[in-house]
């Protein structure tokens, strides 16, 4: 091993040269190193130094990511081979040191270097999820995978295999908050095939240009992968009560273009959740987005009819009737994994009743609210005016209601003063918000240019243009769209996302 170490650490050189390497020089040097290390047998990488040290304790993964990754995988394979005869009964204590090394790599690797060992990097990401499950702590893999995604793509805007692994394991373990930094980012790109940059190390490349199928950093993303990721992300954000973000993800699922009459199960399940989330956001029965396929819309309303009924009653029905409808359909909500979300809908009904009063009154006695609003959770009014005041205070403190609660003083009863509909901001706050908005716009400019280029140069778009020229007047968009048929896909088992609340 002592003789091998110089080869393992030969590139990149440390300290770096005074004159930085060109992209071509770096590309050539790192490819030679990868080629040489691939020739080293795994058993050789398991050897200790003459001083008895493990090379994983010598190599810094932030400086020499490539040899660290190969040595790490050699140990993973060695442990896996040892586990086979033991039938997975190996004590966790023997796996924990390996776990620490894997996490160290995923949280510290050099993004430029691992672009040249995509298959190995993706394998390590896959292993950390499997190992976490083996240790009985699947949620422990969420943070390392999220860190790896951000190291590869600081914007996390290219949908990769790692994203899908992350969403699956976060949903499985209910480690929602740790996955949020990834799920809160917008997906702008899907990895391409047949197009990989000549010099993957170039600092001028944007993440979607090197996160290709050819790089090995991701597998090919299928339609089902896309739908699953958006669906899983929406479900996780429901668990975090990030209603607007959840609605956006679920809307991406239900508006996904389909051809013919086939609508996937995962799209129908997303519609059910989307309906309830939109009710929580607006207090109204939502209209299906205009860009939803007409056949999908029909399927949603047929298969999601019980949810449409609840949404309609939430908007115009009485609290007792809403309570009865939800109670009668409890087996449906439970079977769909939406019982917890439905309980949140029940609890939100009286809050929406109170908010609606702001369109009629500027100031209103609490006694009036107590007499004219009813809890859908019980079907009757709250037990006392004090309970109503507590509810109003809670709504104000959580930002669900803009107003001021003034307590009773002498003969004057307690009352609620609604704040103006339009928010009044001071000049400093306005300037800060404008600066933040400009920053967001500037960061979007390059993405807009890139997506425009991709749209007008992709084979699918050119095929679509040709079909558009040939199609008859009045032909449906579905007939003109050049996508794959989307059949009924079997989705993951639903679980009650709000059950832990």
Which residues are within 8 A (CB) of 53 and not within 5 positions of it... i.e. 6 or more apart?
Answer: none
pLDDT in tens, the chain (501 residues): 767 887 888 888 888 888 889 999 999 999 999 999 999 888 888 888 878 888 999 999 999 999 999 999 999 888 777 766 555 554 555 667 889 999 999 999 999 999 999 999 999 999 999 889 888 899 999 999 999 999 999 999 999 999 999 999 999 999 999 999 999 999 999 998 877 889 999 999 999 999 999 999 999 999 999 999 999 999 999 999 999 999 999 999 999 988 777 789 999 999 999 999 999 999 999 999 999 999 999 999 999 999 999 999 999 999 999 999 999 999 999 999 999 999 999 999 999 999 888 888 889 998 889 888 888 888 778 888 888 889 999 889 888 888 888 887 776 788 898 887 544 455 666 777 787 777 767 666 666 665 555 555 556 555 656 666 666 444 444 443 334 434 343 334 444 444 433
Residue 4 pLDDT: 80
* Residue 384 CA neighbour count, 13 Å, CB half: 3
Q: Are 134 and 102 spatial neighbours (Cβ–Cβ below 8 Å)?
A: no
For the chain, give percent helix, strand, coil, nearest 5: 60, 5, 35
Rg over CA atoms, the chain: 28
Residue 415 preceded by cis peptide, ω within 30: no
β-partners of residue 416 are 364, 405
For residues 227 and 235, what is the distance between their CA atoms, to the nearest angstrom? 12
**CA-to-CA separations, 276 to 251, 282, 284, 310, in angstroms, rounded:** 12, 10, 10, 8
pLDDT of 50 reads: 78
What is the Cα–Cα distance from 113 to 393, expressed in whole angstroms? 54
Residue 381 sits at the vertex; the CA angle it makes with 375 and 366, to the nearest 5 degrees, is 105
pLDDT of residue 485: 38
**Which DSSP symbol is given to 239?**
H
Give residue for tokens 């006694």: 367
Helix (H) or strand (E) holding 335: helix 330-335
The closest alpha carbon to 367, from 424, 329, 335, 408, belongs to 408
First to last CA, the chain: 53
For the chain, the maximum distance between any two Cα atoms, rounded to a whole number of angstroms, is 92
Q: What's the token pair of residue 428?
A: 């400093």
The token pair that represents 56 in the structure block:
């994983």
Note if the bond before 418 is cis, omega within 30 degrees. no
Provide the pLDDT for residue 306: 98
Distance CA 305, CA 283 (A): 18
Bridge partners, residue 404, by sequence: 417
- Residue pair 171/236 in contact (Cβ under 8 Å)? The answer is yes
């Amino acid at each position: 091993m002592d003789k091998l170490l110089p080869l393992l650490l030969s590139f990149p050189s440390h300290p770096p040269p005074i004159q930085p390497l060109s992209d071509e020089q770096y590309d050539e040097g790192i490819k030679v190193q990868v080629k040489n290390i691939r020739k080293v047998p795994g058993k050789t990488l398991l050897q200790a130094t003459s001083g008895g040290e493990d090379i994983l304790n010598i190599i810094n993964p932030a400086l020499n990511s490539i040899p660290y990754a190969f040595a790490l995988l050699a140990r993973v394979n060695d442990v896996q081979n040892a586990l086979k005869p033991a039938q997975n009964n190996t004590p966790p204590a023997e796996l924990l040191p390996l776990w620490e090394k894997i996490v160290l790599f995923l949280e510290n690797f050099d993004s430029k270097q691992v672009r040249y060992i995509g298959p190995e990097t993706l394998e390590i990401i896959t292993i950390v999820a499997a190992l976490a499950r083996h240790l009985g702590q699947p949620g422990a893999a969420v943070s390392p995978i999220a860190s790896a995604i951000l190291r590869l793509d600081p914007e996390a805007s290219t949908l990769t295999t790692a994203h899908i692994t992350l969403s699956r394991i976060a949903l499985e373990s209910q480690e929602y908050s740790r996955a949020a930094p990834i799920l809160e980012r917008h997906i702008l790109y899907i990895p391409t095939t047949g197009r990989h940059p000549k010099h993957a190390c170039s600092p001028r490349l944007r993440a979607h240009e090197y996160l290709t199928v050819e790089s090995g950093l991701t597998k090919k993303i299928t339609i089902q992968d896309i739908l699953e990721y958006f669906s899983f992300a929406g479900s996780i954000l429901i668990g975090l009560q990030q209603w607007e973000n959840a609605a956006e993800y679920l809307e991406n699922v239900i508006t996904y273009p389909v051809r013919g009459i086939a609508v996937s199960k995962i799209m129908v399940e997303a519609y059910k959740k989307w309906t309830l989330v939109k009710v929580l956001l607006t207090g109204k029965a939502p209209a299906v987005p205009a860009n939803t396929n007409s056949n999908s819309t029909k399927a949603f309303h047929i298969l999601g009819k019980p949810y449409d009924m609840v949404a309609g009653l939430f908007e115009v029905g009485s609290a007792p009737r809403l309570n009865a409808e939800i109670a009668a359909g409890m087996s449906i909500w439970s079977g769909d994994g939406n019982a917890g979300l439905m309980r949140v809908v029940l609890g939100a009904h009286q809050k929406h009743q109170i908010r609606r009063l702001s369109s009629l009154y500027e100031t209103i006695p609490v006694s009036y609210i107590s007499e004219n609003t009813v809890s859908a959770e019980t079907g009757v009014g709250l037990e006392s005016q004090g309970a109503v005041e507590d509810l109003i205070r809670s709504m104000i403190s959580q930002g669900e209601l803009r107003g001021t609660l003034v307590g009773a003083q002498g003969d004057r009863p307690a009352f609620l003063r609604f704040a103006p509909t339009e928010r009044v901001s001071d000049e400093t706050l306005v300037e800060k918000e404008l600066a933040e908005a400009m920053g967001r716009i500037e960061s979007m400019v390059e993405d807009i240019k890139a997506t425009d280029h991709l749209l007008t140069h992709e084979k699918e778009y050119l095929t679509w243009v040709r079909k558009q020229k040939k199609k008859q007047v009045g032909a449906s968009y579905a007939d003109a769209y050049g996508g794959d048929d989307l059949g009924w896909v079997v989705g993951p088992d639903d679980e009650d996302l709000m059950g832990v609340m």
